[in-house]
Amino acid sequence: MIPQDTQKEYEETSKQLSDPAIYSDPAKYTRLSRRYAELKKQLAAVSESRPSQNVIMEIRAGAGGEEAALFAAELFRMYSRYAEKQGFETGLIERHSTDLGGYREAVFEIRGKDAYNKLRHESGVHRIQRIPATEKSGRIHTSTASVAVLPEASEVEIKIEQKDLRIDVLRSSGPGGQYVNKRESAVRITHLPTKLIVTCQEGRTQQQNREKAMAVLRARLLAKKQEEEAGKRGAERRKQIGAGMRAEKIRTYNFPQNRLTDHRLQKSWHNLDRILDGDLGPIIKGLASLSF
C-alpha cells in the first residue's frame, strides 16, 4: 500500500509545479522538481513491489473497419494465451463483437503476480499488415488497434462517492451463462463528475457485473488522474515538442513476412504465429530494460 503521507506530499508538490507562477522562481522550481522526482521514484518502487498487482486491459479496433476488428480479437487471444502460459487468471468484462467474429472493443482483467509490470508497455497503437480474406486483388491492407493497460486501483487509491454514481441495470446480451438473456444482469455505471461510463455484462450475476464495472471505473479514474497531473506539469514542454506527445504506433505485425517489429526496441522477430499464440516473453523482457 502507498504511504498516505508520501502520496499527499506527491500530490501537493505536483500541484505547486503546475502553477505557472513557479517558473518565475528558478530556485524554488528546481527544489520542487527534485523533490517531485524523489517522491515519484518512491511511489513507483512501492507500486512495482506489489507482487499481485492486477491489470485491466482495453483493446479497441482502429482504422481498417472489419479487418481492424478481427485484429483486435487476435490481440485479445494473444494476451489471453500469454496470461495462461504465465499462470495468470483472465476474466472478460465487456466486449462488442462483429458479425465476422471481430471485436470492436474488448475489456478484460488479468490477475496474477506482477501482471501489470509485465504488460504495462503494451499500451499504444498496434498495426497489422496483411491480405484480408476478402481481398481478391491480393493487395496488402494496413489496419490498427489500440491497447490500454491500466493497473487495478484499490479503494484507498481512488475513492468514489456513491452520490457521484448513476447505476443502471440492463438486460444482458452477452454470453454470461446459459440463461443470462432471461434476466436483467448487465450493469452500466456512470461517474457523473467525469461522465465516464462503464458497462459490464459478461458476469453471471448483477453483483459480479457491478464489482467488475467498479474495478474498471477505478482504474480509468486513476489513469485519468495521472494523465491530468502529467499534463499540468508538462504544459510548457508539450508546446515545444508538439506531436511527440501523441500516441504512436509501437508495433507492426507483418503477416506476409511472418514478422513482428517493435519500433521502440527497433527489433524484429520472424515467428509471428508463435507470438500471436502468446509467446511474448522475449519482447516483454526487452521492453522492461528500456527507460520510458
What's the rounded mean pLDDT across residues 217-228? 84
Q: How confident is the model at residue 9 (pLDDT cuts 50, 70, 90)?
A: confident
Tens digits of residue pLDDT in 238-276 = 443 333 233 468 999 999 999 999 999 999 999 999 999
Tens digits of residue pLDDT in 17-70 = 766 677 677 788 788 878 888 887 777 665 555 544 789 999 999 988 899 999
- CA dist., res. 175 & res. 185, Å (int): 11
| Per-residue confidence (pLDDT) for residue 225, from 0 to 100 | 81
CATH class entry, domain 162-235? alpha beta
> 182-191, 211-220, 280-289: which has the minimum mean pLDDT?
182-191
| Per-residue confidence (pLDDT) for residue 196, from 0 to 100 | 92
> 39-53, 105-119, 198-212: which has the minimum mean pLDDT?
39-53
Q: Greater confidence, 118 or 185?
A: 118
| Per-residue confidence (pLDDT) for residue 24, from 0 to 100 | 75
| Per-residue confidence (pLDDT) for residue 84, from 0 to 100 | 97
Q: Greater confidence, 257 or 139?
A: 257
Model confidence at 181: pLDDT above 50? no
| Per-residue confidence (pLDDT) for residue 39, from 0 to 100 | 80
Model confidence at 179: pLDDT above 80? no
| Per-residue confidence (pLDDT) for residue 237, from 0 to 100 | 37
Q: In this structure, what is the dihedral angle of CA atoms 218, 219, 222, 227, given to the nearest 10 degrees?
A: -140
Model confidence at 194: pLDDT above 50? yes
Domain residue ranges of the chain, discontinuous segments joined by +? 4-48, 55-154+245-288, 162-235
Tens digits of residue pLDDT in 12-31 = 887 777 666 776 777 887 88
113 is written with which cell numbers?
503476480
CATH number of 55-154+245-288: 3.30.70.1660
| Per-residue confidence (pLDDT) for residue 4, from 0 to 100 | 62
Q: Greater confidence, 258 or 175?
A: 258
| Per-residue confidence (pLDDT) for residue 268, from 0 to 100 | 96
Model confidence at 136: pLDDT above 50? yes
Model confidence at 8: pLDDT above 70? yes
Q: Greater confidence, 41 or 288?
A: 288
